[in-house]
Amino acid sequence: MRTIIASLHLPLRGIVITATVAWALCATDLSDASDHLDSPTAISNPSADIGDIYAWTASDGRHLNLVMDIVGHSFSDRLEYAFHVDSGRALGKTTSSIVISCRFQAADAVECRAGNLDIARGDPRNPAGIPSLYDHFRVFAGLRDDPFFNNVRGTRAAYQTAQAALKAGASVDAAGCPTFDHATSQAILDQWKHTDGGPPKNFLAGWLTSAIVISIDLSVVNKGGQLLAVWGTASTTAKSLNRVGRPLTKNALLGLFAADEVGDQLKEDWNAATPATSARFIPEIQKGLALYDGFDGQCGNQLLAESKATPSKRYLALATLLTDDRLWVNSNSKICTQLMAVELTALAGRKALAKDCGGRSPNYKAANIWRSLLVDGTNDSVSDGVEHDDHDHSATVFPFLASPDGKPVTDTASVEYKE
pTM recorded for the entire structure: 0.89
pLDDT at 140: 98
Q: How far is CA 303 from the centre of its chain?
A: 18
Average pLDDT for 393-416: 80
User: Are 285 and 253 within 8 A, CB to CB?
Assistant: yes
CB within 8 Å of 51: residues ≥ 6 apart = 33, 34, 35, 69, 70, 71, 146, 148, 209, 244
Residues 341 and 240: their CA atoms lie apart, in Å, by 28
The answer to whether residues 392 and 408 touch, using CB atoms and an 8 Å cutoff, is yes
Q: Please tell me the predicted confidence (pLDDT) of residue 258.
A: 64
Q: What is the mean pLDDT of the chain?
A: 88
Q: What is the pLDDT of residue 3?
A: 31
CB within 8 A of 142, min separation 6: which ones?
107, 124, 125, 210, 211
For residues 55 and 245, give the distance between their C-alpha atoms in angstroms, rounded to a whole number: 10
CA distances to 195, 318, 326, 358 from 364, rounded to whole Å, are 22, 21, 17, 10
How confident is the model at residue 262, as a pLDDT? 86
**pLDDT over 90, % of the chain:** 77
Question: What's 351's DSSP letter?
Answer: G
What lies within 8 Å, CB to CB, of 218 at 6+ separation is: 57, 61, 62, 63, 64, 331
What confidence tier does 411 reach under pLDDT thresholds 50, 70, 90? Answer: low
CB 53 within 8 A of CB 148: no
Query: DSSP assignment of 227-246, as one string?
Result: EEEEEEEEE-SS-EEEEE-S
Rg for the chain (alpha carbons), in Å? 20
Looking at residue 90, what DSSP letter applies? B
If you ran DSSP here, which 8-state letter would residue 332 be given? T
Nearest Cα neighbor of 325 from 340, 304, 344 is 340
Percentage of the chain surpassing pLDDT 70?
88
Dump pLDDT digits (tens) for 219-272: 999 999 999 999 999 999 999 999 999 999 998 898 775 678 888 899 999 999
Range in 191-200, 219-228, 284-293, 410-419 with the lowest mean pLDDT: 410-419
Helix axes 316-323, 282-293, angle to 10 degrees: 120
Q: Among 34, 8, 31, 4, which Cα is nearest to 251's?
A: 34
- Tens of pLDDT, residue by residue over 323-380, are 999 999 999 999 999 999 999 999 999 999 999 999 999 999 999 999 999 999 999 9
Give the pLDDT score at 44.
82
C-beta separation of 43 from 5 below 8 A = yes
Confidence of residue 95 (pLDDT cuts 50, 70, 90): very high
Beta bridge partner(s), residue 21: 6
Q: What is the pLDDT of residues 13-60, one digit of tens each?
A: 232 222 223 322 222 333 344 444 577 787 788 999 999 999 999 999
- Reply yes or no: is the peptide bond before residue 404 cis, omega within 30 of 0: no
CB count, 10 Å around CB of 190? Answer: 15
What gap in Å lies between CA 200 and CA 256, rounded to an integer?
Answer: 25
Residue 410 pLDDT: 73
pLDDT above 80 (res 8):
no
pLDDT at 406: 79
Q: What local confidence, expressed as pLDDT, does residue 20 receive? A: 29
What pLDDT does residue 37 have?
56
Q: Answer yes or no: is pLDDT of 418 > 80.
A: no
Q: What are phi and psi of 102, to 5 degrees?
A: -130, 140
Domain ranges for the chain? 1-419
